[in-house]
Amino acid sequence: MLELKHIKKYYYVGDSVTKALDDVSVSFRKQEFVAILGPSGSGKTTMLNGIGGLDIYDSGDLVIKGKSTKEFKAADWDAYRNNSVGFIFQSYNIIGHLSILDNVEMGMTLSGVPNEEKKKKAISALERVGLGPHINKKPNQLSGGQMQRVAIARAIANDPEILLCDEPTGALDTETSQEIMKLIKELSKERLVIMVTHNPDLADEFADRIINFADGKIQNDSNPYTENEAEDTFKLNKTKMTFWTALKLSFTNLRTKKARTALTAFASSIGIISIAIVLALSSGFQKQIDKTQANTLAQFPVTISQTASTQTGAASSTKEKKAPKSKQVTAKLSQAEKSVHTNKISKDYLNYIKDMKPSLSKNIGYTYATGMNLLTKTNGKVKSAQFSNASSNTASTGMSQMAASTGVGGSVYPSTDNNGKGFLSKHYKVLSGSMPKNENEVVLIVNSDNSTNVNGLKNIGIKVKDGQKIDYSKIVGKEFKIVSNNNYYQKNPLGTYSPNTSLSSMYNDSSNKTLKVAGILKVKSKSSENILATGIAYSDKLTQDIIQMNKNSNIVKAQKSSDTNVLTGAEIDASVSKSSLVSYLGGSTTPSSIMIYPNTFDNKDKVLKYLDKYNKGKSKSNKVIYTDLAGQVSTLTGGLMTAITYVLVAFAGISLVTSMIMIAIITYTSVLERTKEIGILKALGARKKDITRVFDAETVILGVSSGLLGVIIAWLATFPINAILKSMTDLSNVAQLNPVHALILIVISTVLTVLGGHIPARMAAKKDAATALRSE
Ligand code: ADP
């Protein structure tokens, strides 16, 4: 059955050599009860461990059922221990955190015996050793004798051919020893039992054969045997622990140390908590910044006007200027005048703007400097009206208004919107009436305190004084007529044109366009005030319609071919150019300004780049210069936030590394603590891999729970953090934990923990089984 051939096992400690086994040769029968007697330190345990494959010999050969073990690999030894050998130790070596049944089943668990069969075999083994009634107890509720019975049940559960007992009664009283010996004696009838003892009486009473040991050598053998089994009849069934078993083993172990596990998980979650909070805050702040950016950009679009300034901030020089010696004065353009640039907003340029990527801007607004011939009826009387907020003495005629370059009055909002969402409904809410449905409906814009300019109201024919309150109903539904140039202006005998004086007949002309105030709108938030001035606002489509109506009118034709102002008969001077007169009369389809509303600062930069590209290679006068008001507000915020986030994440990362080191320490301590368990598992046939798995499983449990805990604590922390921020800065819900971030953090926590714990786990696996079992 078993044959030891010249087995040697030396231990080297420092300079001294211990010959624990010194050329031992002996054979064992298939069925006998062998007692190995000898003084302490004579090498008995070393031989037993060598036979059991817990400790591999240095030289010689161990032949099992005719098979030499010289070529055995670690996996073969593992399988041999699991399939063929059962161990019984002096100190029972029951795994304390597992139930009795789990302990007995462990060997079969390692070899992957199906649950049903495993349980049946375990119960029958427990019944055989007389523990039937105690199956449901915990190991720490058993007496020493009962513990040893559990160990015996575990050893025989898989029905091994060899039972190895190392002083099985060494820790028991005489009476219990007798009972245990009787049990072992009975088991020896079916298999080979080798028992190490230093009690000669027990050996004499129970053993079939006694081998005396001293100084690593056999001194005497009461019943020698010569092996003649030449044929190799050895078969092995490799063991394999599933990760699930490892997980269960670790879980029950952690459960016995609840407080410590909870503390460890909490401590290692701190890294996760800090990163989660930093991420929650920074994405919250980023959202706030994006919102502010969008609002800023809504107020300060990129503007292309007919004139722009090329002046840069540091234009004025402080250099002392010398006066000429001669008695002369020098005519000079001022710095501001020099920097005036006239933009040629050509068809080409308009098409270039149209071709811009729609995703870059929320919308593009076009303003036309065209006047409107507006009439309205107040108390049955027809009066001329204005959409401007200028006081009536300066706004008495369209011309003087234009000469003062206040434009044509009223705010223009873009009728098209790239995002398909109305510009108005984005920034405004309806106080009364409705949003305009088409270009023939205009709206009154009011401030957040419901105020609007008094002159603006007077100019549309509502009689008010400063501070007076007007019912919504007096404004909503009010109608205006737009009269075409040909009806509005009449040619005087001298060749100039002047407005018709019979307002009511003009008012009733069927060719008029009718406008209506559709509603009163108020800004949604204070930050978007000033997007449109208070007063009447209308669609840019309306101005285009008016241009269509008037561009071929008589007065436009006359103005185009005249060098004098056809309304006043005065010569055209520098302040009012001919083209602006034509534009005012509706004779030009070129917008006076273009406003581009990007949605983020990043996109604004792209818009500017796109606009700059148009100017490339063009002569100075053909360049189109834009004004970027928002650019002067802030280009800092975005990048600054990103930088701060990086710094904070780096700090939080340090705490994460600290947690990882801590996990490694905890796992290492756990390895030290569970050395004995590692030995037991190895004796039962666990592979190195299985041991690594047990500890990896433990770190997975720790990693997942600390990740989960961290995310939950961070999430809970966002509530007080938001409350504090709200009270300090008026910003609400800044800290928001992104679920995707939370999930990633749990994964990171698990991966880092497993990495941190894997090295100690590998160390555990490398532990020598025999040494592990000797440890206390
Ligand atoms: P016994 O079981 O007869 O008491 P052992 O087999 O335990 O004896 O030990 C035999 C000798 O080998 C002893 O001198 C012991 O100190 C030594 N020994 C056992 N294991 C080791 C080890 N891992 N390292 C060094 N010496 C060892």
Is 261 near ligand 1, meaning CB less than 6 Å away? no
Count CB neighbours of 430 within 10 A: 15
**Separation of alpha carbons 152 and 150, rounded Å:** 5
Spacing, Cα 678 to ligand 1 middle (Å): 20
Let me know whether 222 and 270 are in one domain.
no
44 lines ligand 1 (CB under 6 A): yes
591 located within any domain: no
For the stretch 516-544, pLDDT in tens is 999 999 888 765 666 677 888 888 788 88
pLDDT digits (tens, 9 = 90+) for 276-310: 888 888 878 777 777 777 666 666 788 888 777 77
Q: With 70 as the cut, is the pLDDT of residue 394 above it?
A: no
Write down the mean pLDDT value for the chain: 83
Domain of residue 77: give its range: 2-240
Pick the residue whose CA is nearest to atom 27 on ligand 1.
Answer: 11
Parallel/antiparallel/unpaired status of strands 209-214 and 217-221: antiparallel
Is 70 exceeded by the pLDDT of residue 397?
no
DSSP state, residue 320: P
Question: What whole-number distance in Å separates Cα of residue 53 and Cα of residue 80?
Answer: 7
C-alpha 163 – ligand 1 centre gap (Å): 21
Same domain, yes or no: 34 and 152: yes
Which ligand 1 atom is the nearest neighbour of the CA of 21? 10
- Determine the pLDDT at residue 401: 35
155 pLDDT tier (thresholds 50, 70, 90): very high
pLDDT of residue 213: 92
Residue 607 has pLDDT above 60, yes or no: yes
Looking at residue 125, its pLDDT comes to 94
41 Cβ closer than 6 Å to some ligand 1 atom: yes
By alpha-carbon position, which residue is closest to atom 5 of ligand 1? 43
CB of residue 40 inside a 6 A radius of ligand 1:
yes
Mark whether 654 and 618 lie in a shared domain: no
Ligand 1 atom nearest to CA at 770: 23
394-398 mean pLDDT:
40
Q: What is the pLDDT of residues 187-209, one digit of tens each?
A: 999 999 999 998 899 999 999 99
- What is the reported pLDDT for 520? 92
- Considering the domain boundaries, does residue 663 fall inside one? yes
The pLDDT value recorded for residue 114 is 87
Looking at the structure, do residues 41 and 190 belong to the same domain, yes or no? yes
| Ligand 1, atom nearest to 213 Cα | 3
Q: How far is 341 from 304, CA to CA, in rounded Å? A: 11
**Phi, then psi, of 706 in degrees rounded to 5:** -70, -35
Q: Where residue 573 falls among pLDDT bands split at 50, 70, 90?
A: low
Residue 140 in domain: yes
Q: Examine the domain organization and report whether 57 and 150 are in the same domain.
A: yes
Q: Mind listing the pLDDT tens digit for each residue in 175-184? A: 999 999 999 9
Which atom of ligand 1 is found nearest the CA of 166? 2
Task: Answer yes or no: is pLDDT of 420 > 60.
Answer: no
Residue 414 falls within a domain, yes or no? no
Flag whether 191 is in a domain. yes
Do 259 and 231 lie in a common domain? Answer: no
Q: What DSSP line would sit under 236-247, residue for residue?
A: -------HHHHH
57 and 172 part of one domain: yes
Mean pLDDT, rounded, for 65-78: 89
Average pLDDT over residues 75-101: 90
Q: What pLDDT digit, counting tens, does each position of 233-264 carry?
A: 777 777 777 788 888 878 888 887 888 888 88
Residues 612 and 647 in one domain: no
Residues 706 and 615 in one domain: no
Sheet arrangement for strand 85-88: 85-88, 162-166, 192-197, 32-37, 209-214, 217-221
The answer to which of 258-267, 374-383, 570-579 has the lowest mean pLDDT is: 570-579
How many angstroms is it from 44 CA to the middle of ligand 1? 8
In a domain, 275, yes or no: yes
pLDDT at residue 345 tops 60: yes
Cβ of residue 170 lying under 6 Å from some atom of ligand 1? no
Average pLDDT of the residues in 468-494: 88
Q: What pLDDT was estimated at residue 396?
A: 40
- Same domain as 650, residue 616: no
Tokens of 72: 């055995």
Domain shared by 110 and 195, yes or no: yes
- Mean per-residue pLDDT, 570-592: 73
Is pLDDT of 219 > 90? yes
The verdict on the CB of residue 603 being under 6 Å from ligand 1 is no
Q: What percent of the chain has pLDDT over 70?
A: 90
| 417 vs 394, higher pLDDT | 417
Tell me which of 16, 18, 774 to substitute to probe ligand 1's pocket, judged by most ligand atoms within 8 Å of the beta carbon.
Answer: 18
Q: How confident is the model at residue 405 (pLDDT cuts 50, 70, 90)?
A: very low
pLDDT at res. 635:
52
78 or 289: which leads in pLDDT = 78
Of 162, 171, 222, 165, the residue nearest 195 (C-alpha): 165
Taking residues 372-384, what's their average pLDDT?
Answer: 85
pLDDT tens for each residue of 137-148: 889 899 999 999
Determine whether the shortest distance from the Cβ of 9 to ligand 1 is under 6 A: no
Tell me what pLDDT residue 23 has: 93
Do the domain assignments include residue 25?
yes
Q: Residue 501: is its pLDDT beyond 80?
A: yes
In degrees and rounded to multiples of 5, residue 266 shows phi and psi of: -65, -50
Q: In what order do the strands lie in the sheet with 16-28?
A: 16-28, 2-13, 59-64, 67-68
* Pair 219, 260 in one domain: no
Question: Domain count of the chain?
Answer: 3
> d(Cα 216, Cα 89) in Å, to the nearest integer?
20
Residues 6+ apart with CB under 8 A from 728: none
pLDDT band at 731 (very low <50, low <70, confident <90, very high): confident
User: Is 127 within the bounds of a domain?
Assistant: yes
Residue nearest to atom 10 of ligand 1 (CA): 43
Work out the average pLDDT over 117-139: 91
Kind of pairing between the strands at 627-628 and 489-491: unpaired
Give residue 747's pLDDT: 92
Residue labelled with tokens 């880092």 = 752
Query: Looking at the predicted structure, is the pLDDT value of residue 170 above 60?
Result: yes
CATH number for the domain that contains residue 157: 3.40.50.300
